[in-house]
Amino acid sequence: MDALDILTDLDNVVPFFQPIFSADEHRVIGYEILGRYRKTEGEYISLGPFFHDDSIPEEYRLEVDNTVLRKALNLCLSLEKDELIFVNRDADLLMHGDGEIFLELLQDFQEKGIQISRIVLEISERNYKGDIGQLDNLLNYYRTYGLKIAIDKMGNDSSHLDRIARLEPNLLKIDLMSMRSNNNAAALQDILYSISMLARKLGATLLFENIEMEYQLQFAWKNGGRYYQGYYLQVPQPEFVHRDVQKNYLKDKFHKFIAHEKKKLETVHKLTESFQIKLVDLLNKYKKYLNYEELLVCLGKDLDHAAFRMYICDEDGFQESANIFKSQEDWIIQPEYVDKNWSWRSYFLENIFKMRYEKKGILSDLYSDIETGETIRTFSYPLSSKHYLFIDLSYGFLYENDGLL
């Protein structure tokens, strides 16, 4: 569509609304405003390519953007007072007129009944050409009026987490577009871990967008998402929907997700208990070992089906034994690991204290092994108050036991 055709036909520039659902209430908590152009009755095209076309002068794109926003806010006057309104803005367009154009537009509608505190500004800045410091100052200025800030397109990378920490946004939007298949889930999980930790520190809410399939909704739920958006739940349309349109559906889905997680937790608990009992028996069986390597070799024979690496550390994380590592069908001894320190690993010292005081083993969460790259778990067991056994469980073993992956 030619840009001039749109600029000379603003009557057919219209807003569409995509509902955003909450995990806690299973209902619509707000809408994202999307720009559309009406070609014919019932036929609409997205204005996304228009807004992202740098060859179109900024003032033209801004005029169309503001047209969409004004029309949308006029319709939003009918919404309930607690429903949020999500507004997309390109950073360059936002800075046009020193940011006052956008604020003045919102203030006009505040006088009509839409409080600025209900507006969530989704800022897109990946290709921003201006001074990032000036942009941050403007966003902080907006916040003094009650405007909420959402950082858009998270999930693509985590390269600007330090800046986000300084900005302290209200929401972080996680884009699940890249998660079109389960093959990408592991890579996204690594990025998401950093984002979720940051969100927790900042007190920011996670909103998952581009949810197109059930497994993506489950992924979002499992990874701390409070808000959800995507074609799987509701397509954008020119009218608002009933707030409870998906309430029963989401409630049923979340029951299913909860049951699945409870089953996995039960499996993990049972495995932990079985390893605990087995190790008590094995350590009684091999209590006359001469050194740690001899003990590990003996344990390797009995745990050959499950483990691929074992070693022993002291309470400070210094390795006091060699590794024994399963290569092909044989266990080999790796003496070069003696005296290596692992206290830098996440939760290492926390787990040491937990084992010391509870006097029982711990099964770790899933993680990627540094050396093999495989997804594994580690079972840790207190040999004494000062020495701890670590058993790395292979991906093959986890795969064979439903609920461990």
- Environment class of 248 (CB within 10 Å of its CB; exposed 0-12, middle 13-18, buried 19+): exposed
Residue 50's pLDDT is what? 94
Residue 342 pairs in a beta bridge with none
pTM of the model: 0.88
Residue 126's pLDDT is what? 64
Residue 163's pLDDT is what? 75
The two tokens of residue 279 are 């190790």
Residue 42 φ/ψ region, left for φ over 0, alpha for ψ in the -120 to 50 degree band, beta for the rest: left
pLDDT digits (tens, 9 = 90+) for 38-64: 998 889 999 999 998 989 999 999 999
CATH 3.40.50.2300, domain 260-400, yes or no: no
Residue 86's pLDDT is what? 98
Total length of the chain: 405
Between helix 214-222 and helix 247-285 the angle, nearest 10°, is 60
Residue 187's pLDDT is what? 64
Indicate the pLDDT class of residue 130, thresholds 50, 70 and 90. confident
Cα–Cα distance, 260 to 222 (Å, whole number):
11
Query: Which residues does 222 contact at the CB level (< 8 Å), separation at least 6?
Result: 257, 261
Q: Give the dihedral sign, CA 191/194/199/200.
A: positive
pLDDT digits (tens, 9 = 90+) for 269-304: 999 999 999 999 999 999 888 899 999 999 999 999
pLDDT at 156 over 60: no
Residue 26 φ/ψ region, left for φ over 0, alpha for ψ in the -120 to 50 degree band, beta for the rest: left
Cα–Cα distance, 20 to 81 (Å, whole number):
15
pLDDT at 157 over 60: no
pLDDT digits (tens, 9 = 90+) for 241-258: 999 999 999 999 999 999
pLDDT at 317 over 90: yes
CB 49 within 8 A of CB 31: no
166/48: higher pLDDT: 48
How many C-beta atoms lie closer than 10 Å to residue 282's C-beta?
16
Q: Where in the chain is the domain with CATH 3.30.450.20?
A: 260-400
How many distinct helices (H) and strands (E) make up the chain? 13, 16
388/183: higher pLDDT: 388
pLDDT at 139 over 90: yes
Please report which helix (H) or strand (E) contains residue 19, including its range. Answer: strand 13-22
CATH architecture of 3-230: Alpha-Beta Barrel (3.20)
Mean per-residue pLDDT for 58-74? 96
Percent of the chain's residues with pLDDT above 90: 76
Nearest CA-CA partner of 390 in 382, 399, 398, 380: 380
Residue 167's pLDDT is what? 85
pLDDT at 379 over 80: yes
Residue 197's pLDDT is what? 82
How many C-beta atoms lie closer than 10 Å to residue 316's C-beta?
12
Cα–Cα distance, 12 to 68 (Å, whole number):
10
Residue 186's pLDDT is what? 62
Q: Where in the chain is the domain with CATH 3.20.20.450?
A: 3-230
